[in-house]
Structure 1
Amino acid sequence: MKKFLLGFLAIGFWAQAQVKPIIQKSEIVRIETTLASDNMQGRQIFSAGIDSASAFIEKEFTKIGLQYYGDLKSYRQDFKAKGKSANNVIGMLPGKSKPNEYVVFSAHYDHLGIVDYGDDKVYNGANDDASGTTAVIALARYFKELNNNERTIVFVAFTGEEVGGYGSKYFTKNINPDAVVAMFNIEMIGTESKWERNSAYITGFEKSDFGTILQKNLKGTNFNFYEDPYPSEHLFYRSDNATLAALGVPAHTISTSKMDSEPNYHQLSDEFTTLDLDNMTEIIKAIALSSESIISGKDTPSRVEKL
């Protein structure tokens, strides 16, 4: 009887250990509402608001237990832009068997700041791109708890996207592009796509088999990734994936933004109350699931043609 009980407990413990961590809507709401709050003053680069946002992301990375990236002594990657101080926020999970192969999850945490007129003065940037930054933080926690990444995962929140992509350009100069296996750049996932819920599109879908791999990993679910439906907008080279993509990295942006009819895009009305947080949570879950064969080293996306 004692041996049976011990065996039962051992099986139960093993089963419990195999349960995947859950991406909780409550956590998505907590992070999103903080980043998109008036207290962040629109998160404009070179402002007190962007400093507050950076400090919040650094605190989240600390709680998760991410390691510092490369030779950095903190989660801040400091640099100069337009002669002023700025910083990305970066954390990482070293790969277990392929530590020199990198998978990057990214979003930009800056936005447009404040105006000095009217009742609503803050460009909250809830969708653009607090939603993507929220996803990066949630995914960092998920993969830390999962604790089975064979490749190194780098989580980066870029600054300066809204004024010329300064953060991603600096990051690209300080990483070996040949070592980057894939980049999941996440931009504006807080609203439903043109295909409504449980869907998103991937910019530059045709430029590598990145999207095909992601969709294969979602077999049996009701989530679908689609090709970018806005080719005239040239979105593949309009976000923080562009600098690494130009060097051949399968670096793609995942988005749901309806670029032909997004009423709150770059408006003061881009606030937390306009987002579909249930759908956003499901999108983040889908990104996590779809990336697993790349993170495990099973799949390696084809390279993008260099510019």
Structure 2
Amino acid sequence: MKKYLLVLLACGFLGQAQNKPVISKAEVVRIETELASDKMQGRKVFTAGIDSASVFIEKEFAKIGLDYYEGLTSYKQEFKARGRVANNVIGVLKGKSKPEEFVVFSAHYDHLGTTSGGNDTIYNGANDDASGTTAVIALAQYFKELNQNERTIIFVAFTAEEVGGYGAGYFSKNINPDKVVAMFNIEMIGTESKWNKNSAYITGFDKSDFGTILQKNLKGTNFNFYEDPYPTEQLFYRSDNARLAAVGVPAHTISTSKMDSETNYHQLSDEVSTLDLDNMTEIIKAIALSSETIVNGKDTPTRIEKLKRN
């Protein structure tokens, strides 16, 4: 009788799981391969290559059916950086009961462009950060299909991270930080972490209970989020989360990058062939699952202490 009951419970659980949207490896591979392709020419800001990447992301957001960000008439948020025009790409999924509370999923879609000489001249940036941008698009599709977000979700691909974080800076200055409940910034998730598969780390873990909430939501799975194992690298302050964290938002970066041994970091060799796409898919699934109580309004991470200015 006990064995029969366990079988029924297992079937019930699997049935519920099967009703959820699927984050498929095939889609992850499709998006990642396009963003890191040679035709994007390394996605350097102010080039035709990054314009092509922007168009691709815009088309993905349109296909998913995301709304425009407040005040915009397209998915492009344009601004001036270094005297030239650049743009973030933003899509919105309006919350059902708490539309004025925002959850941000972000990554930067720019990279280093090209160089001259040699057989390979393109910095494809497959891991840095086509992997994070792929995750943002996949998560937008997931939450659109799930259709259970009580809070508004903002999906943003930042530009100009590699030259000073201009995209995140502009975005942060043009949003009310008091409305942003949490920010999931996703940076370099295409390789295995120091703990191998089914794991990632969260920067600034001790600065809010964001990471603790994510860990709680993953109990019973084989995936683990850890504290940042590279504190001397100051990673919390080196990615696009830092701008909103400075004004009190529980804004953290999720990554697997082994900062002491990433041989392809900022190298021409950062190509799709070097990524573990199976593991990357599982990481995106874990982000989706771990964020659900924040997205649906059940959990609210504690605020980060605002950066003191002189």
Bin of the TM-score, shorter chain as denominator length: over 0.9
82 and 200 in structure 1: CA distance in 2 versus 1, 3 angstrom threshold: same
SS of equivalent residue, structure 1 residue 73: coil
- Report the counterpart of residue 112 of structure 2 in structure 1: 112
Question: How far did residue 18 of structure 1 move?
Answer: 7.8
Residue 130 of structure 1 corresponds to which residue in structure 2?
A: 130
Q: Is 1:93 aligned to 2:119, yes or no?
A: no
Distance 1:285 1:18, change over 3 A: closer
Aligned to 1:161, the other structure's residue is in SS state coil
Question: For residue 212 of structure 1, what is the aligned residue in structure 2?
Answer: 212
> Which ranges in structure 1 are unaligned for 5 or more consecutive residues?
1-14
Counterpart of 2:81?
81
Q: Deviations over 1:112-167 (max 9, x none)?
A: 00001111000000000000000000000000000010000000000000000000
SS of alignment partner, residue 304 of structure 1: coil
CA distance in 2, matches of 1:55, 1:167: 16
CA distance in 2 between partners of 1:147 and 1:126 (Å): 30
Within-5 A mapping of 1:126-205:
126-205=126-205
In the alignment, what sits opposite 1:42? 42
Residues 187-229 of structure 1 deviation map (CA, whole Å, 9 limit, x = unaligned)? 0000000000000000000000000000100010010000000
Instruction: Give, in whole Å, the separation in 2 of the partners of 1:206 and 1:225.
Output: 13
Q: Which residue of 2 aligns with 1:234?
A: 234
- Partner Cα distance (1:193, 1:181) in 2: 27
| 1:67 and 2:71 matched | no
Query: 2:295 is matched with which residue?
Result: 295
Unaligned runs of 5+ in 2: 1-14
Q: 2 CA distance for matches of 1:101 and 1:254?
A: 21
Alpha-carbon distance in structure 2 between the residues aligned to 1:184 and 1:96: 20
1:243 alignment partner in structure 2: 243
Letter of the structure 2 residue corresponding to residue 245 of structure 1: A
Corresponding residue pairs, total: 293
Q: Percent identity?
A: 81
Q: Structure 1 residue runs of 4+, over 2 Å off?
A: 15-18
Q: CA RMSD in A?
A: 1.1
Cα distance in 2, alignment partners of residues 117 and 160 from structure 1: 25
